[in-house]
């Protein structure tokens, strides 16, 4: 079945299906399987240290040559290092949650990374008062 959309063209994927970034759940193996199947697999970095994410990115790059993403949880204590790693590894797609990724977007766009901030609801600032 043909399901080619503008999103597919933008992200270089076959089907307009993005696997949700899920902390502690969407590891490199899941992300690679989704990307191999034609969607966009996304590693959930949650609050994990950059060393863990680096290992996951290496695994996903071994398992698939197709585009993949990393979800960044903006309240992570390692957020700055995680963003630097994403730049160094030239991760094709970044999704963000739980905060404002604004200051990182110019740098990511400069290397061609597509950035997709996830906005759960207009009520979230009252639920996450510390997030920017």
Q: How far is the CB of 58 from ligand FMN (least distance, A)?
A: 20
Q: Which is nearer to ligand FMN, 1 or 119 (CB)?
A: 119
Q: How far is the CB of 44 from ligand FMN (least distance, A)?
A: 5
Residue nearest to ligand FMN (CB): 97
* DSSP calls for 17-60: -BPPP-TTT--HHHHHHHHHTTSBEEEE-TT--HHHHHHHHHHH
Report d(CA 64, CA 66) in Å as an integer.
5
Q: Which is nearer to ligand FMN, 65 or 101 (CB)?
A: 101
Pairing between strand 93-97 and 68-73?
parallel
Q: How far is the CB of 12 from ligand FMN (least distance, A)?
A: 20
How many other β-carbons are positioned within 10 Å of the β-carbon of residue 73?
20
Contacting residues toward ligand FMN, per CB under 6 A: 20-23, 25, 44, 46, 71, 73, 97, 118
Q: Which is nearer to ligand FMN, 6 or 24 (CB)?
A: 24
User: Do 114 and 94 touch, CB atoms closer than 8 A?
Assistant: yes
Q: Which is nearer to ligand FMN, 25 or 127 (CB)?
A: 25
């Amino acid at each position: 079945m043909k399901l080619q959309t503008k999103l597919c063209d933008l992200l270089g994927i076959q089907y307009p299906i993005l696997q949700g970034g899920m902390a502690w759940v969407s590891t490199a193996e899941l992300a690679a399987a989704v990307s191999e199947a034609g969607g966009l697999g996304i590693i959930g970095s949650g609050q994990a240290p950059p060393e863990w994410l680096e290992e996951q990115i290496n695994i996903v790059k071994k398992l698939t040559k197709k585009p993949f993403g990393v979800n960044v949880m903006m309240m992570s204590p390692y957020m700055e290092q995680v963003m630097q790693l994403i730049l160094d590894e030239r991760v094709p797609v970044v999704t963000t949650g739980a905060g404002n990724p604004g200051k990182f977007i110019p740098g990511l766009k400069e290397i061609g990374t597509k950035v997709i901030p996830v906005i759960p609801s207009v009520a979230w600032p009252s639920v996450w008062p510390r997030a920017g």
